[in-house]
Every structure is written in structure tokens, then in C-alpha cells.
Amino acid sequence: MTGRRWLVTGGVGFIGHHLCRALLARGDAVHVVDDFSDAPYPAALKRKNEEELRRDFDAFELDRGCITDRDLVERLAGGADGVLHLAGLAGVRPSFLDPARYARVNVEGTANLLDAAQRASHDLFVFASSSSVYGNATPLPAREDAEAIVPESPYAASKRGAELVCSAMLRKTPSLRCPALRFFTVYGRRQRPEMAITTFLRAILAGEPITVFGDGSMRRDFTHVDDIVRGVLAAIDRAPPGFRPYNLGSGAPITLRDLVDAMGKAAGRSADVRHAPVPLGDVDATFADVSRARDELGWSPQITLEEGLRTVVAWLREA
């Protein structure tokens, strides 16, 4: 399914840039909408991503604007074959500071986009959700059919709320394919600067201390961005009609303590670790059951944590 024209929201952010590059490389056209907000992904990095995509590909276009602008998204959706919705406010801790904005952008913005896609008679609407929807109450490894009804943060609630809105809206257009991709702690080149792997590795390479929350026993399912992009492409090509959530994770969680050791090996030097209390909203563990994505999309993670950490180290040394 190449040669199609996609509206990609948030297309000059971390995951969005990698996805746009993959789509353009396979012969698709991409029209990005991004509001260039400065947090949590810096606007300067978005501008750099935009410049590189414009330089490397002729079939790249971009409009600056917010997905809460109904007229804008309806106009842009009308010129596309489908929507790949990655835009939104990210971050567990910041969501406690402005929960209403998270609800407005992540829930209302998603409803605007899906409504526009339905009006344009699209056959595909991909929604980038989050492993945060599972909270602490879901048995691990988390399966997509778990109830996911006890979010630990306004961010998690907004992502779950957006999923429920999508599911309800699909009653009007049941033939529309709407995979909700639950990303598990994505890392890699161009990652958001405040995320743990980038922050820790930058500090380790500089010989500075790092701060680990809690005693290091929290577990996270880290997923390399290249695996995430392959998962999105698989959903584009193979997702069935209707609303359907899929976990995209490594399926191999690691404790923060062991993560620090692995980062030290990748960087070639040991870390100076300090400890701090666990912040509000952080979950005890994330662990993806990826069998649905494997069975229905033909996707499975390919990049080990050791390989992935080396790509981040190489990127930081180039910067």
C-alpha cells in the first residue's frame, strides 16, 4: 500500500519524524500538522526535523496548527487518504499541572480528527495511544482486553478517554480501520530530552550523576523507535476494520537498576547514581503482551535493549 497521501499529526516530533521518513522513503506522500509547542518536545528540535524532511523529500508538506482547530483538521483531512494521529500532550508528571489542557488536546483533538476522517470517507485512522492506560491495576503482562479503568495520571486518563471516544465514534463507520497503538516507553535517536534513557546516557557520558526514582526496582518495557515505526507501518497495511487496540512493546521489561548497568556498558563508563522519591503518577511496572500485534499485524520487536542503547550513545556523541 504505497503511493498514498497521509495526514500525520505531530509529524515533526520524536516518533513522528521517524515515521514520516519511513513513509516518504517507501513512496507515500506526507502532510504534517504540528503546533510546534515547546514542551515536552522542544520546538527547536521540531524545526530541525522539519528542515531535514523538507531537504530530503519532495513529497513532504507541513501546516502549523493545533488539532483542536476543527476547520484546519477538516481541510487537511479532505486532502488525504488517511490519518496517522501521533500529536498530543505527552508526559505523566506535567499532566498534573494542567489536566484540562491534556483533556482538551488529547481527547477533543482526537475527536476532531476522527470526525474529519469520517467526513472525508477515509478507510484508516491510526491512533497513537500509550501503555499508561493500563495503570497499576492491570495484571502483567498487560493484554489489550484488560479493562484499563484505573489511570494513574491525567495523561493516562486522556489517552484512555481518547480510545473510548474512537471506539464510540466507530459505531457510525464500522468499516473504518482504527487501530489504537499502545506504545511502551519509546526511546532512540531524537528522543524527548527529559526522558530517562536520553537524560541518563547524556549524564553518564559527561561524567555527571544520575537520579533514579525509588530503589531501582521499578520495571519498564522499553521499545526502540525503529520497532515502533515498523509497528505503525504494519497497522497501516494490516489492521482490520473497526476499533482495535494493539500493544507495541519489547515484551522484555527491565528494572531501572539493571537499565543503569546496561547504559553504563553502552557508554563505556559506570554511572554515579543518586536516588529520589517516586513521583506522583509513575506506575510500578510496564510489561507488554505483544501476541495480538504478532498474530494480527505480523509484527514483533526486533531490536534488543543493548542494540538500542548503542544507537542512542552514537547519536549523543554526534551531537
Q: What is the mean pLDDT of residues 35-62?
A: 95
State the amino acid at position 29 in one-letter form. Answer: A
pTM over 0.95: yes
Question: Which residue in the list 41, 102, 134, 155 is annotated as catalytic?
Answer: 155
Cα dihedral: 90, 92, 97, 103 (round 10): 60
- Residue ranges covered by each domain of the chain: 5-184+224-249+288-302
pLDDT in tens, 253-263: 999 999 999 99
pLDDT in tens, 213-224: 999 999 999 999
Beta strands in the chain (DSSP E): 5-9, 29-34, 60-64, 82-85, 125-130, 177-183, 186-187, 210-213, 219-220, 223-224, 242-248, 254-255, 273-276
Nearest-5° angle of CA 263, CA 251, CA 280?
70
Output 194 or 18, whichever has higher pLDDT: 18
Q: What superfamily does domain 5-184+224-249+288-302 belong to in CATH?
A: NAD(P)-binding Rossmann-like Domain (3.40.50.720)
Examine the residue annotation and report whether 246 is marked as an active-site residue of this protein.
Answer: no
pLDDT > 70? residue 2: no
